[in-house]
Amino acid sequence: MQRLLGHWAWWATLDRRLFSAFESSYSFLFSDSRAVPLAVREELRSAADLAPLLLRRLDRPYHSQVAMVDAGPEFGAVVVARAPPAFGGQSLGESMQPGDVHAWRVATVHRWKRSEHNNIGEARTVVMAASRFARCSAARGKRWLVWSDSTVAIGAFAKGRSSSRPLNRQCRRLAAILWAHDAEVVLRHVPSGLNMADGPSRGLPWAGVAPDTLAKSRAAERGARSPGPPAPPGL
């Protein structure tokens, strides 16, 4: 089993979304059982079904619309904007900064049905953004640029899976959307003080940063710039 999963892991480096298919398989490696459980067999069967999709297009262009996402205590929000004409092709994802984009508008706001860890909510908002891109026929076959202030969600999607089952479930949902539409999501980090989805995720009707978040961000910046206490004499 270790050798088999090792071969699959090698092939999954071509498309890390495949890693999300394996969950029970990794747990089985550390068990004493010799009989392969049904869940493990189903995961291996799913991986075999997904094998024809393990192709990466390095020349895939970016979609002209970009998104920012954020998760608040009650809402998840997605805001979108058009990329400036000066950015196109590869430069859209490699050199464009959040400040280069203007005229953000609220695209999706979803009220959470139940309370869960913020990391799961942040991952859900990325899936929400992908679902919205998927409804646009012009976005098919392209890269979708999404900004998030959650390093946990960005890291999980970049890795392709998570050891957290709820978070790995979101990795699977995103992989299904992207494979179905022959697309990729490119995730970039944006500081919370610049996240235009912060306001809508806290119930505000406009795209922007909520006043409380902006105040905290500015206070953190002032604290980072202020000099530390003087060193004790003799040191």
Tens of pLDDT, residue by residue over 50-79, are 888 777 777 889 999 999 999 999 999 999
Number of C-beta neighbours around residue 155 at 10 A: 14
Question: Ranked by mean pLDDT, which of 1-15, 31-45, 124-138 comes out on top?
Answer: 124-138
Q: What is the mean pLDDT of residues 128-144?
A: 95
Beta partners for residue 145, in sequence order: 186
**Residue 232: pLDDT band by 50, 70, 90 thresholds?**
low
The domains found in the chain, sorted by start residue, are 2-53 (no CATH), 65-211 (3.30.420.10)
> Does position 234 have pLDDT exceeding 60, yes or no?
no
pLDDT band at 235 (very low <50, low <70, confident <90, very high): very low
Calculate mean pLDDT across residues 33-41: 87
Percent of the chain with pLDDT over 70: 94
Quick one: 179 exposed, middle or buried, by C-beta within 10 A (0-12, 13-18, 19+)? middle
Extended beta strands in the chain, E state? 65-71, 75-82, 105-111, 143-148, 184-189
Average pLDDT, the chain: 89
**pLDDT band for position 32 (50/70/90)?**
confident
Q: What is the DSSP letter of 74?
A: S
Residue 117 pLDDT greater than 60, yes or no: yes
Tokens of residue 155, six digits: 């890291």
Decide if pLDDT at 226 tops 70.
Answer: no
128 C-beta neighbours (distance < 10 Å), count:
21
Among all chains, which residue has been given the structure tokens 């196109």? Answer: 88
Q: Please state which of the ranges 20-24, 90-94, 170-174 shows the lowest mean pLDDT.
A: 90-94
Using one digit for the tens of pLDDT, what is the confidence trace for 39-58?
A: 999 989 998 988 887 777 77
Beta bridge partners of 222: none
Convert the pLDDT of each residue in 168-197 to its tens digit.
999 999 999 999 999 999 999 999 999 999
210's CB contacts (< 8 A; 6+ apart) are: 198, 199, 202, 204
E-state strands within 23-90: 65-71, 75-82
Higher pLDDT, 208 or 235: 208
State mean pLDDT over 144-164. 95
Selected residue with higher pLDDT from 143 and 87: 143
Residue type, 179: W
* Number of residues assigned to the chain: 235
Query: What predicted TM-score, i.e. pTM, was given to this entire model?
Result: 0.84
Residue 166 CB-half CA count within 13 A: 11
Closest by Cα among 133, 66, 134, 71 to 95: 66
Q: Which residue has the higher pLDDT, 26 or 197?
A: 197
Describe the crossing of helices 2-12 and 38-50 by its angle, rounded to 10 degrees: 30
At 12 the pLDDT is 86
**Which residues lie closer than 8 Å to 175 by C-beta, 6 or more apart?**
17, 18, 20, 160
Q: Are strands 184-189 and 143-148 parallel, antiparallel or unpaired?
A: parallel
Nearest CA-CA partner of 144 in 157, 156, 159, 155: 157
